[in-house]
Chains A and B, each alone.
Chain A
């Protein structure tokens, strides 16, 4: 209990003081996770839509596998990306290891399946409602998928948020491929892990509270946007 109280006041002090190191860490966390979410959406949403609308042999297997990949352990993803980007690995010559770029890559791999699987569900439900009308109008294949992706945009916003939440919360992948280098690849989750190992639990808790507050704010903002838009556009 005392740790929590200490942590809460430490959190307020940190935020109030505008400590540049903290701001740098928060900024990097947001930059990495938001970029990864964007990339994962650009990759995952079309895949999800294609799986929802397309009919091809092995479709059911693909859906099951994709759903399973939603639960990919972050450390495993981190390890795989590390082996790919290491100098001893196939993409070593780009020197991407221990950079924010590597962290974005790892998180993109981690959350693209989530975005794809959830998009598939959203689009499949919508397709049931829209299929006859869209076919009647002459919208097929890619055109139909794009139309559905736009029409379900508010539900997809929730999907994107789920991806962002997963990215912002994970530590396994970014720790391995980023190396938690001070000022370069240290993000909120790795900073929390570091302070915990150093035994500074109140500070770790404080950082944790800040992280939760940030994620809640992002979700609240998106919820508000969704509500107003739904009320206006149906």
Chain B
């Protein structure tokens, strides 16, 4: 065991940003891949000198990582899962931060004839009835959870209706969009990832604006009572900054092609 300790200490001497003041945030692929963090985190670092290290995973994986104490903060978009996280004592100080919306993406040829509709659930019902190809993330992410809720409210029993038309890929938003693009299928995506996605192919937005597609993001501190090593002071500082006017403005200012992706919602 002493030898292992010696080896670990030797390896710890790897001189790569190991000495910076930093916190670890478990977040989702949608926030990372849209480039939001790349935009707002430097502003926070400039103000406070704290480096924010983001590990981007699906919501389920992010919360699991936070539960294990491998992160200081969880920043995800699945309200039921977040409430459960706080209820079980894994997280504290939950705050609303921002929202974006989901959109239903589909091929320009629109085999299920849903384009232009304003009712997301109804559109999904039509897709299921037409057995048009549909790509699901299937990865316990916030997007996946929202998709499942939509099927339910559309009255579609997925287990019964499932067939070759429903592609459960078990992947992140980007890879799922890649799949949809190559098979010409429908998919539920968050607007931010869609706007910054570079392989749109023949796909376009077919349904948007429905209130149920509203996608709120919440931030939580990993409970220091359960994980004493959590960097409570610095992490709380980040949470406070996110909901502060300065942080909220940073979020609102982030645009792709002139379009705002995320809308501040801290009250």
Chain A interface (Cβ < 8 Å from any Cβ of B):
28, 31, 35, 86-88, 91-101, 104-105, 179-184, 194, 196-201
CB–CB A201/B199 < 8 A = yes
Task: Tell me, rounded to whole Å, the shortest Cβ–Cβ distance linking B66 to chain A.
Answer: 10
Is B94 part of the contact surface with A, judged by Cβ < 8 Å? no
Interchain CA distance A15-B254 in the complex, whole Å? 28
**Nearest A residue (CB) for B194:** A199
Q: Is the CB of A197 within 8 A of B172?
A: yes
Question: Which residue of chain A is the closest to B177 with respect to CB atoms?
Answer: A199
Chain A residues with CB below 8 A from B24, complex form: 98
B114-137 interface code vs A (CB 8 A; 1 in, 0 out)? 000000000000000000000000
Enumerate chain B interface residues (CB-CB to A < 8 A): 8, 11-12, 14, 16-18, 24, 29, 33, 37-38, 53-56, 68-70, 171-175, 177-178, 181, 196-200, 227, 229
Residues of A within 8 A of B70 (CB): 86-88, 97-98
Query: Is B11 touching A184 in the complex (CB atoms < 8 A)?
Result: no
Of all chain B residues, the one with the shortest Cβ separation from A85 is B70
Contacts of A180 in B (CB 8 A): 55-56
Interface pair A104/B197, CB less than 8 Å apart: no
For this complex, 19 residue pairs linking A to B, each with C-beta atoms less than 8 Å apart, are A31-B16, A35-B14, A87-B227, A87-B229, A88-B70, A94-B12, A95-B229, A96-B11, A97-B70, A99-B16, A100-B18, A181-B53, A182-B37, A194-B33, A196-B175, A198-B174, A199-B174, A199-B178, A199-B181
Interface centre among A182, A183, A199, by most chain B C-beta atoms within 10 angstroms, is A199
Question: Are A105 and B55 CB-contacts (below 8 A) given A31-B16, A87-B69?
Answer: no
Question: What B residues does A194 contact at CB under 8 A?
Answer: 33
- Asked whether B12 lies within 8 Å of A101 as measured between CB atoms, the reply is yes
In the bound complex, do residue A197 and residue B175 qualify as a contact, i.e. CB atoms below 8 Å apart? yes
Verify A101–B55 contact, CB threshold 8 A. Answer: no
Smallest CB–CB gap between B35 and chain A, Å? 9
* Distance in angstroms between the alpha carbons of A126 and B247 in the assembled complex: 66
Q: CA separation between A105 and B4, bound complex, in Å?
A: 11
Query: Is there contact, CB below 8 Å, between A198 and B11?
Result: no
**Which residues of chain A are within 8 angstroms of B37 by Cβ–Cβ distance?**
182
Instruction: For the complex, give the distance between the alpha carbons of A28 and B14 in Å.
Output: 11
- Contact among A86, A95, A199 with B197 in the assembled complex (CB-CB below 8 Å): A199
Q: Which residues of B contact A196 (CB under 8 A)?
A: 174-175, 178
Evaluate contact between B69 and A88: CB separation under 8 angstroms.
yes
CB <8 Å contact, A87 and B12: no
CA gap between A105 and B199 in the complex, in Å: 35
A96-B8 contact given A184-B17, A194-B33, CB 8 Å threshold: yes
B198-A88 in contact (CB<8A)? no
A100 touches B14 (CB 8 A): yes
Contact, CB under 8 Å: B8 / A91: yes
- CB of B175 within 8 A of CB of A100, answer no
Instruction: Output the least CB separation between B82 and chain A (Å).
Output: 20
In the assembled complex, how far is the CB of residue B9 from the closest CB belonging to chain A, in whole angstroms?
9
